C-alpha cells in the first residue's frame, strides 16, 4: 500500500496487523456496512473491506485522495466519498463506524453521528484517552456534557488502550479505542435526542438553567442518567407553564 498522508493533524496506526487486532474488538460482521472517517490512504478501509460487506471511506484532502483511490482500486466493496465528513450525507441503510478520527474533531463527529436521523448501530473510534474517559459515565472521572447527552441512547466503554508507538507520527497524548453502541432499549424516545442534547449543554453552561430543574448539591457533571432524565422532564413541564 502506498504511503500515508497525514490530514488535519491525524496520527496513523502502524500496520494492518494492529488495525486487524483493533477491528477484532468490534461487533463488525460480514453483512455490515461500515464507514471510515478521515480515511487517509486507506489502511483502515482495507482491513474493513476484508471483514465487512461494504465500506464507505470519507476523505477530502487532495493528496490523500489520490493515494486512497489507488490503494482501494482492488476493493470492489469500498466507496470513496471525497467530502468533508461533517458536511457529508450518511448512509441510508444500517451501518457501523470504525475510524481513527482527528482528535480535534472528536466531539463534532460523535455529535453528528449520534444526532443523525439514521445513527450508526455502533461506533468504534480512536480518540484521546482523556476525552474518552469523560464519556464513560460509570468511571470516577469528570463527565462531559456530551457524555451525559449521549447516555439515554448509547452505552459507552473503552475497549483497548493504545501505545504512542502504535502511531506515526506518535501523538503527544494517550489514546484508546472507544466503543459507543446503541442501547437495545433506549431510556428516552429517540425523537427527543436533539432536545435532550440542547438541554444538557444549556445546563452545563448556564447555572441558572440548571438550578431551575435541580435543587440538590450536585454539579451537572455529577448527576447520573436517571437524574438527568428527571431534570429533563422537569424542564419540559417548566416550558409548558
Residue ranges for the binding site for S-adenosyl-L-methionine? 11, 13, 38, 59, 84, 100
Contacts 24+ apart (CB under 8 A), 163-172: 165/14, 166/13, 166/14, 166/18, 167/11, 167/12, 167/13, 167/14, 168/4, 168/11, 168/12, 168/14, 169/6, 169/11, 170/11, 171/11, 171/103, 171/128
3-state secondary structure of 50: coil
Measured over the CA atoms of residue 99, residue 101, residue 107 and residue 111, the dihedral's sign is negative
Question: Phi/psi of residue 60, each to 5°?
Answer: -130, 5
Cα→Cα distances 225→14, 25, 234, Å: 38, 26, 14
Measured in whole angstroms, how far is the alpha carbon of residue 207 from the centre of its chain?
A: 28
Q: For residues 142 and 171, is the Cβ–Cβ distance under 8 A?
A: no
Measured in whole angstroms, how far is the alpha carbon of residue 214 from the centre of its chain?
A: 29
Q: For residues 64 and 91, is the Cβ–Cβ distance under 8 A?
A: no
Annotated binding site: 11, 13, 38, 59, 84, 100
Amino acid at each position: 500500500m502506498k504511503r500515508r498522508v497525514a490530514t488535519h493533524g491525524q496520527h496513523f496506526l502502524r500496520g494492518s496487523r494492529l488495525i486487524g487486532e483493533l477491528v477484532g474488538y468490534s461487533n463488525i460482521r460480514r453483512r455490515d456496512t461500515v464507514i471510515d472517517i478521515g480515511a487517509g490512504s486507506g489502511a483502515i478501509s482495507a482491513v474493513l473491506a476484508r471483514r465487512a460487506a461494504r465500506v464507505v471511506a470519507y476523505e477530502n484532502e487532495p493528496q490523500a485522495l489520490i493515494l486512497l483511490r489507488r490503494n482501494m482500486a482492488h476493493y470492489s466493496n469500498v466507496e470513496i466519498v471525497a467530502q468533508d465528513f461533517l458536511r457529508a450525507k450518511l448512509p441510508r441503510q444500517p451501518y457501523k463506524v470504525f475510524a481513527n478520527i482527528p482528535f480535534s474533531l472528536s466531539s463534532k463527529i460523535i455529535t453528528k453521528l449520534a444526532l443523525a436521523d439514521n445513527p450508526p448501530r455502533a461506533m468504534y473510534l480512536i480518540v484521546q484517552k482523556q476525552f474518552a474517559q469523560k464519556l464513560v459515565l460509570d468511571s470516577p472521572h469528570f463527565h462531559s456534557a456530551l457524555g451525559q447527552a449521549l447516555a439515554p441512547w448509547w452505552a459507552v466503554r473503552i475497549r483497548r488502550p493504545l501505545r504512542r508507538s502504535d502511531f506515526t507520527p506518535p501523538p503527544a497524548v494517550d489514546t484508546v479505542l472507544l466503543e459507543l453502541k446503541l442501547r437495545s432499549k433506549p431510556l428516552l424516545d429517540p425523537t427527543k435526542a436533539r432536545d435532550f442534547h440542547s438541554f444538557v449543554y444549556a445546563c452545563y453552561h448556564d447555572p441558572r438553567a440548571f438550578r431551575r430543574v435541580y435543587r440538590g448539591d450536585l454539579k451537572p457533571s455529577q448527576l447520573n442518567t436517571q437524574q438527568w432524565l428527571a431534570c429533563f422532564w422537569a424542564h419540559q413541564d417548566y416550558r409548558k407553564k
